Amino acid sequence: MKYKHLFGPVPSRRLGVSLGIDLIPPKTCTLDCVYCECGKTTRLTTERREYIPVDNILKELDDYLARKPELDYITFAGSGEPTLNNKIGKVIEFIKKSYPHYNICVLTNGTLFSDPSVRAEVLKADLIIPSLDAATEKIFQQINRPHRDLSCKEVIAGLVDLRSEFAGEIRLEIFIVPDFNDTTEELQAIKQAIEKINPHRVQMGTLDRPGTENWVQAADKEKMQQIASFLGRSELIGEFRPRNKIASFNESYNSQILNTLRRRPCTLEDLHHMLNLHPAELQKYINHLLAIGRIETENRDRGTFLKLKSEHRGLA
Ligand code: SF4
């Protein structure tokens, strides 16, 4: 069976070996974050509906999971905000009923949890990783560029409610964008929000791959450590581990990407169309190649291009 809505298993530094489920067509989201690795949001919405027919997803899951793959997590992630699909609860129920030994993770921007029905739909998951990059309206607008119906205050309140209702683990993720959410004022507001939400863990990341806007910079390691100690109880998202040591790493994808880039530099979207790989899965291989220094990025009019590093051009 050819899978359209499942991707991976993707070797992930946060989740080990994770099978992705994408419930949303690209690029549909409640936010349009400046650092998004999936590119600009083309459908900015808070409307919940069955964007991908749930029966198609259940058929793919049944086919895949019947083979008893070894997975650390089945993860809702992909081309936008997964809770926008109003059948996410049905998919979670199906997995828990038919394949109860698998752990389920929801990677979410957390913006819809002020709605009690959205919270109810994810309660059977094992791990929820919501992001919260801002705790003031101004910085929320600047970094996350939300749909007009959303406010930072309500997002935080929704996360507080989720924490009190959800029995699993909540890992709050904060993406640091230098000069925006690393000011004393914003960090103090974020710290207060963390105290209110009281997640089990707080993890911080910064740019390590091309974002939507080329002006977004990575925070340096020292700054990240200072912020982590200021916020307290927060940790940096793990250092890079060689992904090719993970069983689901597919060496042939690596070669296909390198061979394509040897012919000409491409954007992530170009590679997605040319290689027919899900963008989220593709991104993991790109991250690996960036981290080991085989490829580099270059900003051009049409976006961020990936190209072979000059010293590797004859080696792909
Ligand atoms: S919430 Fe996630 S998918 Fe949506 S724009 Fe931000 S980073 Fe991209």
Q: Could you read off the pLDDT of 122-145 as tens digits, one per residue?
A: 999 999 999 999 999 999 999 999
| CATH topology classification for 250-312 | Arc Repressor Mutant, subunit A (1.10.10)
Burial class (CB in 10 A: 0-12, 13-18, 19+), 117: exposed
Does residue 22's CB lie within 6 angstroms of at least one atom of ligand 1?
no
What pTM, to 2 d.p., does this model score?
Answer: 0.82
The angle, 0 to 180 degrees and rounded to 10, between the axes of the packed helices 88-98 and 54-65 is: 20
How far are the Cα atoms of 165, 275, 278, 311 from residue 27, in angstroms, in the given order?
30, 19, 13, 35
CB 214 within 8 A of CB 176: no
The reported pLDDT for the residue numbered 316 is 43
Pocket test for ligand 1, best of 29, 111, 268 (most atoms within 8 A of CB): 29
Residue 79 CA, closest ligand 1 atom number: 3
β-sheet bridge partners, residue 304? 299
Angle at 177 between CA 174 and CA 183, to 5 degrees: 90
What value does the mean pLDDT take over residues 155-183? 97
249 confidence band (pLDDT: 50, 70, 90): low
| One-character DSSP codes across 183-194 | SHHHHHHHHHHH
Helices (H), the chain: 54-65, 88-98, 116-122, 137-139, 152-165, 184-197, 221-231, 251-263, 268-275, 279-291
The protein residue with its alpha carbon nearest to ligand 1, atom 3, reads 80
Which of 3.40.630.30, 3.40.50.2000, 3.10.420.10, 3.20.20.70 would CATH assign to domain 6-241? Answer: 3.20.20.70
Q: Render the burial of 128-147: b for 16+ CB within 10 Å, e for the rest.
A: bbbbbbbbbeebbebbbbbb
Closest-lying ligand 1 atom to the alpha carbon of residue 27: 3
d(CA 16, CA 284): 12
Q: What would the mean pLDDT of 102-121 be, rounded to a whole number?
A: 98
Query: For the chain, which residues make up each domain, given as ranges?
Result: 6-241, 250-312
Burial pattern 205-221, b for ≥16 Cβ within 10 A else e, equals: bbbebbbbbeebebbee
Torsion of the alpha carbons at 170, 102, 124 and 191, rounded to the nearest 10: 10
pLDDT at 248: 55
Structure tokens at 308: 């072979």
- By alpha-carbon position, which residue is closest to atom 7 of ligand 1? 36
| Cα 41 to Cα 12, 25, 68, 238, distances in angstroms | 23, 11, 35, 27
CB of residue 212 inside a 6 A radius of ligand 1: no
Ligand 1 atom with minimal separation from the 131 CA: 1
Closest CA to 100 of 65, 128, 75: 65
pLDDT at 39: 83
Stretch 33-54: mean pLDDT, rounded?
94
- Tell me the two tokens of residue 301: 């009019």
